[in-house]
Chains A and B, each alone.
Chain A
Amino acid sequence: MKFWKYLGLRLTTWALTILIGVTFIFFIPRMFPSDPVERMIGNMESLSGSMDPAAKEAMRKSLRIQFGLDGSLWEQYITFLWRGLLHFDFGPALMSYPTPAGEIIARNLPFTVGLSMCTTIVAWCIGNFIGLLAGFRKNKRSSRILEGIAICIYPIPYFILALVLQIIFAYVLGWFPLQATIQYNNGTATFIATLLKASVLPALSILLLGTGWWIISMKSLSGTTSEEDFVLYARYRGLSEGKIGYSYVFRNSILTQITALAMSLGGVFNGSIMTEIIFGYPGVGTLIQGAIMQSDYNMILGCITISIVAISTCTLIADLIYPFIDPRIRYS
């Protein structure tokens, strides 16, 4: 009974969080001092040098109707809640009219999720493993070396690390492409080969920094845990170091890391603008950036709604599975 009450409350919080989040993200772009129609007309005028005033006015009216920007704000909001939030139909992307925003997001999301999900999970596993060793066996030389490497890599700003990797492996050695070039239409083998080749440097750049953070945080957690009384007691009982490390230190330290992992996994839907820009890797990060620059309300809503739902859902799942990982926690 307690569980169902807890679940009900937690689901209500989840729904409210999403509603408040998307409401903000619906109204904020509309307060920008920008307009997708003016942006499109400005682009065309900039390219052609000048535009006939009558042609400009006719185009302005035509585009406002086509973009669905002629209704009241309230009408647009209700439409968004019904179609966007409940059916994930965000309408046409204004910067790619009339292609639906959802279609463009769906095209880019697999790259973002694939890259970020893989690197996040791998970094989490490696980082926690090394961090556990560094914290639990802190007097070993190998632990100190690994911790030292992590401490050196972690503070490096991402774009510097990414640029260094790009300069060494793509520009100087030429082993990887400067910009991701994926061939889709020359067979599955070519697609996989070019995709892997294009993904190595972006993945490596995210992995290096991500691992550094997990090492440092896990080292700190496991270091504290390994000095707890129950760990000393386990040693007095003569349990093996492996048993103590896994059952006593690791299981007690990992809880915080699981919460952080859940948040990170939710965040993979945001994309990584820097990675995408530096390596020319497809993804939703640059999509959001482009949408903001071009005042594409539908695309902004689409990308960020997915992100809000993903983060909220991952946090909800993490909350629900805690008791299975740590028996001390009960639903209440």
Chain B
Amino acid sequence: MRKTLSLCLALAMVLTMFVGVTALAEGEMTAVGTPRSETLVMECQSPTDNPGQFNPYMIGSSMGFGVHQLMMSHLWEMDTAAGEQFGEIADGMPEPNEDFTKFTVKLRQGIKWSDGEDLTADDVVYTFNMIKTTEKGISMTAYLNTILDSVEKIDDYTVQFNMVSSFPRLTQVFGVTIWGNSYRIVPEHIYSKLEDVTQFKDPNPVVAGPYTVKDFDPNGYWVLYELREDWMQSTLGVAGAAYYGYTEADTPAKYVWVRALGDDTTRQMAMINNEVDLLCEVTPEMLDYMRSQNDKIACWYNEFPYATSDDPCSKGLVFSCGQGEPWNNKYFHWGIALAMDFDEISLGIFDGAGRAAAFPIITATSSGQELYYKPLLDWLENEFTIELSDGTVLTGADVWDPEYAFRMAEFKEIEGDEDYLIDMFGVGCWKYNPEAAEKLFIEAGLEKKDDGWYYNGEKFTIEMSYLADTEAQAGRGVQAAYDQLSKFGFDVTIVSKSSASWDTDGSTGNFQIAGYWPFNFITKDIYDKIQGFDADLIVPVGERANGQSCRWDNAEATEIIHKLAGIDPNSEEAYQLGLEFLKIAIEDLPMIGFHSGVKFVPTNSSIWEGYPSADNAYNGPWWWWSCFKYIAPRITLVK
């Protein structure tokens, strides 16, 4: 017995040593067999369900798994630092006719597909015609046919889009504005030979972007991309040279290994051990721990608040107005807003980090704050009123708190001038005013008794819900709001929903107050962000909505949306209408914003450096967006 045990132990030790020595002998190689000094390792948040499927027009292709960041190309891409689109395949912006029914689009010359073929008008015309005529299998087909009549080749590098009717926002629909865009140009000389493009997995894609697939995990955990030798003839080389001034000297990493890292513990360990250079979003607690273990790990800012506040999707509370009274009552909405102490909410979410973004629908990214928040402050502070039936008139001073940034800065011991602090913490928040909140609730039909609030003679309860699986900012916001409303005296319950039911409940309006995020902002023209709030799209609770999940019904707002649909998105009129729309939304307050999108996106400078940051803000830290290919040349090997 003893002999057997000793033998087993000895064998185990030999095996362990063998594995250890093998691991050490591998030196600076990655687990996929590439030199670490040539491989940028980037995280993708979940494995792909469709490994080896790179056809962007096959349902289920995971574009965020490096596919659209490194290989795909659009007509127009987004410069997230400047907040403007630029031509990627298109050479500049389109030239519309007077009534926006025809657009002439010049294409960049010199872009080659990875098999050496030129990218020309034939590819663009083929792509759009393919989408239009593939009746089954491409999800955009039906919609494209309602807006695009035809697309014609004028010459090898010019195409003309003929729209069904006036359509001023061509670049917003066919180009990237935030994460990516579904209209990706594919090679005509490959795809036109297929019997059914929707069944073609395309495991060895021919692409116009700078990278091609070198290897992938058949179980979907990783994809290894290799830089094209002729990357200067890719969209990065051609559009990047024209727009960003990139040259051969800016050659990006030879390999990009995009991998899913599993649970948060593993993600942290991998980054601390320099096994990954770029992570997607983490919580501030995770960042804090990783920084304490590896001083090369950083975030957008080197110190508090660490996170960038420029993610366009912000978080807050949404009322399901379709549920009827009092959920659709503006006095009720305002009562909720003023019953909560935003300082405590802010500290509860990310310890005070983030730019306050109180307005509904439009969030306070840097440009959103400049274009929509600051211009409305004068109206809010001096003209805005809420009149109650008891004669009380609440003014801007009763509802708006412009001191939040300075208070939070003092609390967090942040120094800086007014502009700096407002950029960090925002222009203000809804005021904590419980007395006014109480009056507003009474105006909305609620009644306060010794044991709480009543509505129509029955105890009034509020159910708040949030998505449990992801989106820490949204979840923590709802939890903090739950604490505030409970403290105020409401009988509140909180429901954590899984992603399985979250979207369905959102679409059917099956919630009372929830942490959905219909708040965003990226371009000055806000039409595509507000078009879903058209009251004509509202369907009863229980039916699936195509527009807003909150079912906010406002005729004035709808009229503005209809007007905006037909006018030049770059005109002053469009901008003024956007401001008017926002005033109406503030008056009704169908949703309450907390912060703009606060993202803790860690980078590791042990092997690679030059990532975008607050000190070097040449782009946003959006590794999962299609614009990543234009970030890659700035990321260089540590010398």
- Indicate if A190 sits at the interface (CB-CB under 8 A): yes
Q: How far is the CA of A285 from the CA of B53 in the complex (A)?
A: 22
CB distance from B500 to the nearest CB of A (A): 4
In this complex, which of A39, A49, A184 has the most chain B Cβ atoms within 10 angstroms of its Cβ? A49
Q: Secondary structure of the A side of the interface?
A: helix
Chain A residues lying within 8 Å of B272, measured Cβ to Cβ, are 171
Chain A residues lying within 8 Å of B20, measured Cβ to Cβ, are 173, 175
B546 adjacent to A54 (CB under 8 Å): yes
Chain B, residues 232-269, CB within 8 Å of chain A (1/0): the string is 00000000000000000000000000011111011001
Write the chain B residue with the least CB distance to A193: B22
CB distance from A65 to the nearest CB of B (A): 8
B146 adjacent to A183 (CB under 8 Å): no
- Indicate if A97 sits at the interface (CB-CB under 8 A): yes
Q: Contact size class for B? A: 35 or more
Write the chain B residue with the least CB distance to A97: B59
Chain B residues lying within 8 Å of A200, measured Cβ to Cβ, are 19
B146 adjacent to A39 (CB under 8 Å): no
Chain B residues lying within 8 Å of A33, measured Cβ to Cβ, are 500-501, 504-505, 510
A184 adjacent to B529 (CB under 8 Å): no
CB distance from A274 to the nearest CB of B (A): 10
Q: Which residues from 92 to 106 on chain A have a C-beta closer than 8 Å to any C-beta of chain B?
A: 93, 95-99, 104
Q: Contact size class for A? A: 35 or more
B500 adjacent to A186 (CB under 8 Å): no
- Indicate if A78 sits at the interface (CB-CB under 8 A): no
- Contact residue among B139, B275, B500 (Cβ-Cβ distance under 8 Å from A295): B500
Q: Which residues from 543 to 558 on chain B have a C-beta closer than 8 Å to any C-beta of chain A?
A: 544, 546-547
Q: Which residues from 480 to 512 on chain B have a C-beta closer than 8 Å to any C-beta of chain A?
A: 498-507, 510
- Indicate if A294 sits at the interface (CB-CB under 8 A): yes
Q: How far is the CA of A38 from the CA of B79 in the complex (A)?
A: 31
- Indicate if A7 sits at the interface (CB-CB under 8 A): no
Chain B residues lying within 8 Å of A43, measured Cβ to Cβ, are 503
CB distance from B565 to the nearest CB of A (A): 11
Chain B residues lying within 8 Å of A63, measured Cβ to Cβ, are 59, 139
B222 adjacent to A292 (CB under 8 Å): no
Q: How far is the CA of A54 from the CA of B181 in the complex (A)?
A: 17
- Indicate if B219 sits at the interface (CB-CB under 8 A): yes
Chain B residues lying within 8 Å of A57, measured Cβ to Cβ, are 546
Complex interface: stretch among A13-21, A83-91, A209-217, A276-284: A276-284
Complex interface: stretch among B296-304, B324-332, B530-538, B603-611: B530-538
Q: Which residues from 311 to 327 on chain B have a C-beta closer than 8 Å to any C-beta of chain A?
A: 312-313
B136 adjacent to A66 (CB under 8 Å): yes
B266 adjacent to A278 (CB under 8 Å): yes
A292 adjacent to B500 (CB under 8 Å): yes
A179 adjacent to B140 (CB under 8 Å): no
Chain B residues lying within 8 Å of A197, measured Cβ to Cβ, are 19, 22
Chain B, residues 43-63, CB within 8 Å of chain A (1/0): the string is 000010110010000111000
CB distance from A288 to the nearest CB of B (A): 13
A38 adjacent to B49 (CB under 8 Å): no
- Contact residue among A42, A47, A111, A190 (Cβ-Cβ distance under 8 Å from B219): A111
- Indicate if B95 sits at the interface (CB-CB under 8 A): no
Chain B residues lying within 8 Å of A55, measured Cβ to Cβ, are 140, 143
Given contacts A49-B178, A50-B520, A167-B269, whether A59 and B140 have CB atoms under 8 Å apart is: yes
Write the chain A residue with the least CB distance to B140: A55
Chain A residues lying within 8 Å of B32, measured Cβ to Cβ, are 181, 183
Q: Which residues of A does B touch, CB under 8 Å? A: 32-35, 38-39, 41-44, 46-63, 65-66, 93, 95-99, 104, 107-108, 111, 133, 142, 163, 166-167, 170-171, 173-186, 190, 194, 197, 200, 277-280, 282, 286, 290, 292-295
Q: Which residues of B does A touch, CB under 8 Å? A: 1-2, 5, 16, 19-20, 22-23, 31-33, 47, 49-50, 53, 58-60, 64, 136-137, 139-143, 146, 173, 177-182, 198-199, 215, 217-219, 221-222, 259-263, 265-266, 269-270, 272-273, 275, 312-313, 469, 498-507, 510, 517-518, 520, 522, 528-529, 531-532, 534, 537, 544, 546-547
Known contacts A39-B499, A185-B215; can you find 17 more A-B pairs with CB under 8 A?
A34-B503, A50-B520, A53-B532, A53-B546, A54-B546, A55-B143, A63-B139, A65-B136, A96-B50, A142-B1, A176-B23, A178-B266, A183-B31, A184-B217, A278-B266, A282-B219, A293-B498
